[in-house]
Structure 1
Amino acid sequence: MTDLHHSSVSRRQWLQRAAALPALSALPLLGRAQTPPALVLGDQAGGLRALFEASKALDGAPFSWRWANFQGAAPLFEAQRSGAVDTAMAGDLPVLAAAVGKTPLKIVATRVGKADSLGIVVQGNSSIRSVADLRGQTVVVSSARGSISQYQLYGALEEAGVRRDEVSIKFVLPTDASTAFSSKQIDAWAIFDPYYTIALQNGGRILRDGRGINTALGFITASEEALADAGKRKAIVQFLDRLARAGDWALAHPEAYAQAYTQLTRLPIEAARTITARAAVTGRPVSEADITALQTVADRSARDGILPVRVDVRAITDAQLWPRAA
């Protein structure tokens, strides 16, 4: 499916499906179905599920599971806060925002991606040629306050010497913003993959990507309720072991990973190759360097008013749960 025009309907249907709250997939429970412990695995835009389905790293797992898919981190963490999902995956700032929002979570693993998987895009024929040109303009940020896209925008503005009060900022969920950008109702948009790549495939132009601003770190969080359950706690460790295997597989089989991703999302293969090549696939235990990097994000976000208070990263991290991959 290489023609963007012919794939637009199926892509739009996928984006709409991703917007459902909570969109629990009908993936059959494998292994000993219906036997505890059963995990509800939170996902964004089908990315984590695609990795596992491509690698088959969950085949034969000693626990059952189902996927819960969301279009962005904000609704995903709403689900974790309500107890609807046991684990969640997100970038650095959304995890901090969730902690500020009293989501009972612990960071249990790190995912490493590439900083060019997000950025600020403008229409291809836009008169905006640099970040400095955003003065007096409206920029849409997805998905909500406390997103990696907000951090990206603020970092780019600071770098260009543009005060935040010189720019009008609006927060719009990714699927709605994607539709608006495609219909040219939005000129400037701070967004992350897969929506970022879709915008570029549809004629958008990169104004500033995340390199030098964003950490490219993502994190797996587990709810405190799940961690307090001995069976689920053990299953989460087993899940993380398989996450590491899935990442190793994806790095060794990039084309197979891209093909599986396009089958699940119905995105064109060219877009899938780009998205999966820079996705955060590598899963590893939380290191001291990760804690330090995330604390830097937390401190800067509190300074810039992205977060209302400073978050103590170590206090929301359980680095002992999964000290190393099996």
Structure 2
Amino acid sequence: MKTKHNLRRTLLTLLALAPLAATLPAHAQKAPDTVRIGYQKSSTLITVLKTRATLEQKLAPLGVKVTWHEFASGLPLLEALNVGAVDVSADVADTVPIFAQAAGAQLTFIAQEAPSPTAQAIVVKEDSPIKSIADLRGKRIGFAKAAGAHYLLIAALEKNGLSLKDVTQAYLAPADGRAAFERNAIDAWVIWDPFLAAVQRQSKVRVLADGTDLASYQRYYLASTPFAKARPDVVKVIVNSLQETGKWVKQSPQDAAALLAPVWGLDTATVEQANARRSYLVRSVVPGSIGEQQKIADAFLDAGLLPKKVDATNVPLF
């Protein structure tokens, strides 16, 4: 009788807990044991970590594996983050999260690189008749949509009394932009490092303007909010590793260039030039450090590129 009573009590307990179990989020039942990292070719610190297998080593004690997923630019990378195809995003330009926010993406800002305004620029051929930003009126300009280069162009035009409506826009990923620039299919190219350093060293170009006094160019690392909540331990390891790697790249520029050159298909001098313009100072994201995000969001809204107004500073921070 006692055994039947205990069995009955156990069954009643399980039945009472069943509805609660059904409402628990998936990550509470089983935390992810793989972190899927999305990155771009220009994701310097993540590329170093990937090449050295640093994260695989540091996350092994947590029982977590790493997979890597390359994207041509930041916008498709964050789209993948939004739909759950990747868990963590390598650095993207400050402009990119704004488009993701406008789409209702659940993203958490986990780290930020301090400003690197000279690491992106508007360039023309050395013999181009274009001598100033004002001369871009009516010209065809290539750049990646939603990239930091996109905002740099908006800011540069605005400062000179122009807008995107005064130029012909060509949305081009970096490789396509370089090809179009070389064959004179575009009159100017807005691009960031290391692509900027490469075209400066390999072609005869002039810089019309970089981000100085126009766009501070802070790059952000993000995670899907569900993953950040499920595995804060993993996110912390990634952020700490990024901070350590950023210091190493700046303190050992030749060694960093030697490591990155074959991965990027560039010579070491070009890589050193590109890295010299990036701060690689990875820091926590605090409310006061993302004020420029709202200015960028409003500029894209005014240009008719966002479907709605975005509160760019109202975001989850790690």
Shared fold, TM over 0.5: yes
Corresponding residue SS for 2:189: strand
Q: Is the 8 A contact 2:257 2:272 kept in 1?
A: yes
Q: For residue 36 of structure 1, report the CA deviation from its aligned partner.
A: 5.8
CA distance in 1, matches of 2:278, 2:54: 17
| Structure 1 residue runs of 4 or more that deviate by more than 6 Å after TM superposition | none
Q: Is the 8 A contact 1:44 1:72 kept in 2?
A: yes
Q: Which moved more, 1:285-294 or 1:146-155?
A: 285-294
1:39 maps onto 2:31 in alignment: no
% same residue: 26
CA distance in 1, matches of 2:212, 2:53: 31
Instruction: Name the counterpart of 1:96.
Output: 98
Q: Which has the higher helix share?
A: 2
CA distance in 1, matches of 2:274, 2:94: 19
Give the 3 Å change call, closer, same or farther, for CA 82–270 of structure 1 in structure 2. same
Instruction: Name the counterpart of 1:212.
Output: 213
Q: For residue 117 of structure 1, report the CA deviation from its aligned partner.
A: 0.8
Q: For residue 56 of structure 1, report the CA deviation from its aligned partner.
A: 6.8
Corresponding residue SS for 1:316: coil
Instruction: Name the counterpart of 2:25.
Output: none
Q: Is the 8 A contact 2:287 2:313 kept in 1?
A: no
Instruction: Name the counterpart of 2:76.
Output: 75
CA distance in 1, matches of 2:51, 2:256: 6
CA distance in 1, matches of 2:279, 2:220: 9
Deviations 1:184-203 (A, max 9, x none): 32221112222222222222
Structure 1: runs of 5 or more not aligned: 1-34, 322-326
Instruction: Name the counterpart of 1:299.
Output: 298
Instruction: Name the counterpart of 1:271.
Output: 270
Corresponding residue SS for 1:51: helix
Q: For residue 295 of structure 1, report the CA deviation from its aligned partner.
A: 2.5
Q: For residue 120 of structure 1, report the CA deviation from its aligned partner.
A: 0.8
Instruction: Name the counterpart of 1:110.
Output: 112
Q: Is the 8 A contact 1:55 1:246 kept in 2?
A: no
CA distance in 2, matches of 1:86, 1:177: 29
Q: For residue 119 of structure 1, report the CA deviation from its aligned partner.
A: 1.3
Deviations 1:128-163 (A, max 9, x none): 111111111111121x1x221111111111111224
CA distance in 2, matches of 1:135, 1:36: 51
Instruction: Name the counterpart of 2:150.
Output: 150
Q: Is the 8 A contact 2:125 2:204 kept in 1?
A: yes
Give the 3 Å change call, closer, same or farther, for CA 166–293 of structure 1 in structure 2. closer
1:152 counterpart letter in structure 2: L
Structure 2: runs of 5 or more not aligned: 1-30
Count, aligned residues: 281
Deviations 1:67-123 (A, max 9, x none): 212221122112212211111121111111111123221112111241111111111
Instruction: Name the counterpart of 2:244.
Output: 245
1:301 counterpart letter in structure 2: F
CA distance in 1, matches of 2:288, 2:164: 30
CA distance in 2, matches of 1:236, 1:180: 39
Instruction: Name the counterpart of 1:26.
Output: none
Q: Which structure has the larger Rg over C-alpha atoms? A: 2
Q: For residue 220 of structure 1, report the CA deviation from its aligned partner.
A: 0.7
Matches within 5 A, 1:159-308: 159-201=159-201, 202-229=203-230, 232-308=231-307
TM-score normalized by structure 2?
0.81
